Amino acid sequence: MSPEIGHFALVLGLALALVQSIVPIWGSRRGDAALMGTAPPVALGQFFFVALAFATLTHAYLVSDFSVENVFQNSHSTKPLIYKISGVWGNHEGSMVLWVLILTLFSALVALFGRNLPLTLKANVLAVQGWITAAFLLFILKTSNPFARITPAPMEGRDLNPLLQDVGLAIHPPLLYLGYVGFSMSFAFAVAALIDGKLDAAWARWVRPWTLVAWIFLTAGISMGSYWAYYELGWGGWWFWDPVENASLMPWLAGTALLHSAIVMEKREALKVWTVLLAILTFSLSLLGTFLVRSGVLTSVHAFAVDPERGVFILAILVAFIGGSLALYAWRAPTLKQGGLFAPVSREGALVLNNLFLTASCAAVLVGTLYPLALETLTGAKISVGPPFFNWTFGPLMVPLMIAMVFGPFLAWKRGDLLAVAQRLTLAFAAAILATLVAYAVTTGGPVMAPLFVGLAAYVIVGALLDIAERIQLFRAPAATSLARARGLPRSAWGAAIAHAGVGVMLLGIVGETAYKQETIVQMRPGDSVQVAGYDITLQGLVPVQGPNYRDLVARLTVREGGVDAGTLAPAKRVYTARAMPTTEAALKTRGVSQLYVSPGDASTDGSIALRFFYKPMVLLIWIGTLVMMLGGVLSLSDRRLRVGAPKPSARRAAAMQPAE
Amino acid sequence: MEGSLTIWLAIAAMTAAAIFAVLLPLSRTTHAAAAEMDVAVYKDQLAEIGRDAEAGLIGAAEAEAARVEVSRRLIAASERIAATAGEGATRRRRMVAVGAILVIPAIAAVAYGLKGQPGYSGQPLAERQRAEPAATDMAGLIARIEAHLAANPGDGRGWEVVAPVYLRLGRVPDAVRARSNALRILGATADREADLAEAQTLAAGGVVTAEAKAGFERARALGPGHPKAGYFIGLAAEQDGKPDEARALWGKLVAEAPAGAPWVALLQAEIARLGGTPPPAAAAAAPAAPVIPPEIRTMVDGLAARLAADGSDFEGWMRLVRSYVVLGEAAKAREAAANARQRFAGEADKIGRLDGLVSELGIGGT
């Protein structure tokens, strides 16, 4: 299969995207069903051609076709199969094709399964997606063509960056992009609603599943990226407040806010204008995230200025989409009918509070990420905004958010009773106090505040579970009744409680890792032993091992726990031959949810090696927490009500149905 | 030829499919007004709510509320049907159809025409290795040498063998590493100093860096009259904006060259390039067909490989064209010139200089 087929398919994708940008919206303005009807087949055609291009590129990687420059730069004939495939998106050009592939996939899904969307809305949504697709395909073809060729073809490629040769990172970008691009659907719905001037509760229900899908994938992507950084970089940390990480955290925060404000809009027809703005902002942050990572701005503002073609194009896309949609918003939002006002102490009040804190924390991250860039551009001074800034801005915002998070689900719509809710949360408060005391008694050392955070985590988890217990009247009604109620409870309620509990689990892991980790660095010779957190670790020897495209120097360690053999650890210094690039392969030993972590330093000429040992209590809870959050999202997504677009009965009706509450 | 026919057929078929995706929905005979389609959607939703309520998937109260809301929208859509009659629909449909037939191929032709190379088929490695067994041997050889050197990093001879191979493959940084290892392990000679400095020069994109120049100076100190060192020190002078110095140096080299030295032709060409009159070679009996010295060959190959990887260096292309002519490979020179012309198609001044060079060297008429 010639790479030229892929190139041409990409070009046809652009042509169809341009058709889709213009024709359906013209039809919707004129009320012409025939023109609006072109949107679905054209969207499917686009998906077909972009998928063909992606398949061609993948094929070129699989057969090591080094006449394609992109393959030459990022692949090597001896590379294992999985990294030949992941090499496709392990570089700028290929990752942009993957981005557009996912974008067209979402458009195709709307085209195929959007049968219960009104024709006009569907046509407008697909047209907006067409704009995004067209802009990105133009960007790819103009500045980042993955099908550029080399004559004559070199005999061997330059290999993928060794850091990226890892299973976790092979699937990390697709997940992250599914998240980023998923938010384009909420964006398209928001812009379509602004164009149409129609915005009702049904709109929120159409948007919510898409937002939820994007949110689940983004959560997975961020979580996996964090775990990758944890074990592949060998630094022993799991979150570095690196601009690349922040770039994905910002849309996540905004997306989480969007998810919650959409509930208010769906249930109470309120917060319409705000929800639309959030949808626009979330996707804008996704775009910003993609480009911060892809434009080269982050590596160096200077490098960016030297080769400005890509950067300027990117800037133009950002300005056009963010500026354009915000201008449209400013123009059309006043025409949208506003919902009524509501009391501050109520379910919707709590959700507004959630939105307030989430957007504020998102703004804090945005400032911390962009300020150094702006400063370097303006004055040339290079500063770095490190963890202290984020810990002192982001942290304090998260604490009240988590406290309020437990109250929210207990509050009634329209008007709630804070005192009554606090009474029902007695058990959660008790759990918090108990956990704090236990943490205080059991641990030695660590910051004074740490037990309080353990308490907060316990409060969040127990509070979330209490929500379910309360709803099914556990222990207050007969067991059979409770079971029946549990079955009858909407899955979105289960999803919310589980996702909230997941936050608590993650917090517990964070506190455990940050406050109670133990760290030792020792220079060891074969035969030497060291004690870490109750483990006796002995270095048996340093062994060279030859891999398919790398060489390892493996430190063989045996671990004994209380005199009993507890297995081995084999961290390694690895050198990838093609790029002569060294990497560090950390070794982990999992005990429950805690981990023993060894990261090797450089071997000295005298046969000794520096080894860095960490004992990280409860560290796995960080990622287990995100998995629990995702599970909550999936449950909520599977709620039939979301897909039918059926509204929740009004509060009055609900009260009549369930006098017990 | 056969391959190129296939690609044109594929391109035609793909274009037709893209146009078809637009024409298909337009060609449907029944065209309900937009509002009528919406009515159908809402009726569908009502039926779905009924089914779900019966199956117990949603509660009765929720189903009732949903019915009320959907019905409200159904009524609104029904009212709109009367308002939008389909006037002008046929004309619009025709415009879109004609537009699709004209615009899609036009966009494709322009966008693909800029960078596409339809005649250049895919080059899967396995097929190429079957076609060029020598290349396979080379890959296998490198792998063996690398494995050997990994086990015995102190084998200077091995580093010396692998270095030129790296250069030929365009792996210039590896070549620099290999040559500096060889120099360190085996000790300094004029050849090793000059070879390392040459690799450093290639790594710097053809610029004789201060580091490389120091290397060449050391080589010349170890072996006075070393041709490679002399040539590059001259090149460094030229790059410093002192062509006279370069010319004088090269002239001296040519004048002192032993009879039949193969590199004399190259130096004479370089002197001519700088506008000087090259002194005649020492011996009248210059070889009829110049024997190409291996180091020059390696240099040119290295340059070609580098430009294949990154063709943005215009001066590099000019040098490559000239070098091929000096080596007597007019066909390759023409090919390089054609590549460069394609690469810098948009830049008139560079194309002008390239054309000037081509006519100067007499390899026009491609």
pLDDT per 10-residue tile (average), chain A, 661 residues: 90 95 89 84 95 95 90 84 87 90 94 81 93 94 90 76 74 88 93 84 81 94 88 78 87 94 80 89 91 68 63 86 92 75 80 91 91 81 81 90 90 81 88 89 78 93 90 82 82 90 94 87 87 87 81 88 85 80 85 88 80 89 95 87 47 38 31
d(CA B88, CA B17): 27
The residues near A80 (Cβ < 8 Å, ≥ 6 apart) are A548, A549
d(CA A345, CA A334): 27
Do B332 and B246 fall into the same domain?
no
Do B225 and B178 fall into the same domain?
yes
- Crossing angle of helices A39-62 and A119-143, rounded to 10°: 30
Local confidence band at B290 (pLDDT 50, 70, 90 cut-offs): very low
State the pLDDT at residue A9.
Answer: 95
B49 and A118 within 8 Å at the Cβ level: the answer is no
Do B19 and B103 fall into the same domain?
yes
d(CA B240, CA B261): 28
Of B84, B124, B309, Cβ closest to residue A64: B124
d(CA A160, CA A86): 9
Do B113 and B20 fall into the same domain?
yes
The H-or-E segment that residue B363 falls in is: none
Whether residue B302 is contained in a domain is answered as no
State the pLDDT at residue B339.
Answer: 84
Whether residue B192 is contained in a domain is answered as yes
A45 and B17 within 8 Å at the Cβ level: the answer is yes
Q: Which of residues 110-149 of A touch B (CB under 8 A)?
A: 115-120, 141, 145, 147-149
Count the alpha carbons within 13 Å of B37 in the hemisphere toward its beta carbon: 23
- Which CA distances in Å does A11 have to A8, A128, A434, B324, B362? 5, 19, 64, 36, 39
Q: Position of tokens 């939820």? A: A212
State the pLDDT at residue A327.
Answer: 93
| CATH number of the domain that residue B164 is part of | 1.25.40.10
Distance from CA of B258 to the nearest CA of A (A): 37
Do B16 and B109 fall into the same domain?
yes
B89 and A72 within 8 Å at the Cβ level: the answer is no
State the pLDDT at residue B313.
Answer: 80
Residues of B in contact with A204 (CB under 8 A): none
Do B11 and B67 fall into the same domain?
yes
A152 and B308 within 8 Å at the Cβ level: the answer is yes
Whether residue B298 is contained in a domain is answered as no
pLDDT beyond 80 at B326: no
Q: Which of B70, B98, B117 is the last residue of a domain?
A: B117
Question: Is there a cis peptide before residue A152, judged by omega within 30 degrees of 0?
Answer: yes
Q: How many domains does chain B have?
A: 3
B92 and A35 within 8 Å at the Cβ level: the answer is yes
- Which CA distances in Å does A34 have to A217, A381, B23? 35, 57, 10
Amino acid occupying residue A46: Q
- Distance of alpha carbon A2 from the chain centroid: 35
The residues near A110 (Cβ < 8 Å, ≥ 6 apart) are A43, A117, A122, A125, A126, A129, A185
Count the alpha carbons within 13 Å of B132 in the hemisphere toward its beta carbon: 12
String of DSSP letters for A312-377: HHHHHHHIIIIIHHHHHHHHHGGGSPP-----SSSHHHHHHHHHHHHHHHHHHHHHHHHHHHHHHH
- 3-state percent breakdown (helix, strand, coil) of chain A, nearest 5: 65, 10, 20
Whether residue B287 is contained in a domain is answered as no
Local confidence band at B64 (pLDDT 50, 70, 90 cut-offs): confident
d(CA A490, CA A467): 13
Whether residue B21 is contained in a domain is answered as yes
Residues of B in contact with A41 (CB under 8 A): 21-22, 24-25
Q: Name which of B313, B314, B315, B335 is nearest B324 in CA terms.
A: B335
d(CA A291, CA A298): 10
d(CA B280, CA B295): 23
Write out the E strands in A413-534.
Answer: 518-524, 529-532
String of DSSP letters for B73-140: HHHHHHHHHHH---TTHHHHHHHHHHHHHHHHHHHHHHHHHHH--TT-----HHHHHHH-HHHHHHHH
Whether residue B82 is contained in a domain is answered as yes
Local confidence band at B87 (pLDDT 50, 70, 90 cut-offs): low
How many CB pairs lie under 8 A apart between chains A and B? 234
DSSP A88: G
Amino acid occupying residue A13: G
Cα Rg of chain A, angstroms:
27
Neighbours of A157 (CB within 10 A): 25
The residues near A623 (Cβ < 8 Å, ≥ 6 apart) are A223, A226, A227, A509
Neighbours of A442 (CB within 10 A): 10
Do B100 and B15 fall into the same domain?
yes
Least-confidence region, from A303-317, B201-215, B256-270: A303-317
pLDDT tens readout for residues B132-146: 655 555 666 677 777
Residues of B in contact with A647 (CB under 8 A): 62, 65-66, 69
Whether residue B203 is contained in a domain is answered as yes
Interface check A607 vs B, CB under 8 A: no
Distance from CA of B62 to the nearest CA of A (A): 5
Q: Name which of A95, A253, A238, A68 is nearest A164 in CA terms.
A: A95
pLDDT beyond 90 at B58: no
Of A3, A26, A649, Cβ closest to residue B122: A3
Q: Which residue of A has its CA nearest to B128?
A: A155
Local confidence band at B295 (pLDDT 50, 70, 90 cut-offs): low
Distance from CA of B294 to the nearest CA of A (A): 20
Distance from CA of A641 to the nearest CA of B (A): 7
Domain boundaries, position B188: 154-256
B108 and A8 within 8 Å at the Cβ level: the answer is yes
Of B3, B93, B107, Cβ closest to residue A14: B107
Do B165 and B96 fall into the same domain?
no
Q: Which of residues 529-588 of A touch B (CB under 8 A)?
A: 546, 551, 577, 580
Residues of B in contact with A546 (CB under 8 A): 147, 150
Q: Which residue of B has its CA nearest to A579?
A: B174
Residues of B in contact with A4 (CB under 8 A): 7, 116-118, 120-121
State the pLDDT at residue B13.
Answer: 94
Of A151, A156, A650, Cβ closest to residue B120: A151
d(CA B342, CA B115): 9
Q: Name which of B241, B239, B238 is nearest B250 in CA terms.
A: B238
Whether residue B58 is contained in a domain is answered as yes
Distance from CA of A66 to the nearest CA of B (A): 7
Residues of B in contact with A488 (CB under 8 A): 59
Q: Which residue of A has its CA nearest to B335?
A: A151
pTM score of the predicted model: 0.75
Write out the E strands in B167-236.
Answer: none
Summarize the confidence of residues B236-256 as an average pLDDT. Answer: 85
End-to-end alpha carbon distance in chain A: 65
Distance from CA of B124 to the nearest CA of A (A): 4
Neighbours of A408 (CB within 10 A): 22
Whether A410 and A335 have beta carbons less than 8 Å apart is answered as no
Question: Which of B23, B43, B62 to substitute to test the interface with A, most A CBs within 10 Å?
Answer: B62
Tokens describing residue B27: 């060609």
Distance from CA of B255 to the nearest CA of A (A): 38
Whether A133 and A99 have beta carbons less than 8 Å apart is answered as no
Distance from CA of A615 to the nearest CA of B (A): 34
Decide if the complex's ipTM is over 0.90: no
Distance from CA of B80 to the nearest CA of A (A): 10
Do B110 and B15 fall into the same domain?
yes
Count the alpha carbons within 13 Å of A105 in the hemisphere toward its beta carbon: 16
pLDDT beyond 70 at B84: no
DSSP SS3 for A147 = coil
pLDDT beyond 90 at B104: yes
Residues of A in contact with B21 (CB under 8 A): 16, 41-42, 44-45
The H-or-E segment that residue A535 falls in is: strand A535-546
Residues of B in contact with A23 (CB under 8 A): 22, 96
State the pLDDT at residue A646.
Answer: 44
Dihedral, CA of residue A393, residue A173, residue A586 and residue A562, to nearest 10: 70
Of A15, A34, A488, Cβ closest to residue B18: A15
Task: Select, from the ranges A41-50, A268-277, B43-52, B350-359, the one with the highest average predicted confidence (pLDDT).
Answer: A41-50
d(CA A429, CA B314): 72
Summarize the confidence of residues B34-39 as an average pLDDT. Answer: 66
A644 and B32 within 8 Å at the Cβ level: the answer is no
Residues of B in contact with A545 (CB under 8 A): none
Distance from CA of B351 to the nearest CA of A (A): 19
Please, what is the Cα angle at A202 between A200 and A205, to 5 degrees? 125
B22 and A640 within 8 Å at the Cβ level: the answer is no
A31 and B147 within 8 Å at the Cβ level: the answer is no
d(CA B66, CA A653): 13
State the pLDDT at residue B284.
Answer: 40
Sign of CA pseudo-dihedral A34, A37, A43, A49 = negative
A156 and B169 within 8 Å at the Cβ level: the answer is yes
Whether A407 and A464 have beta carbons less than 8 Å apart is answered as no
Q: Which residue of B has its CA nearest to A581?
A: B174
Do B242 and B326 fall into the same domain?
no
Interface check A11 vs B, CB under 8 A: yes
Of B14, B32, B73, Cβ closest to residue A33: B32
Whether A210 and A189 have beta carbons less than 8 Å apart is answered as yes
pLDDT beyond 60 at B287: no
The H-or-E segment that residue A243 falls in is: helix A243-268
Q: Which residue of A has its CA nearest to B67?
A: A646
Tokens describing residue B240: 């410093």
Question: Which of B125, B142, B312 to substitute to test the interface with A, most A CBs within 10 Å?
Answer: B125
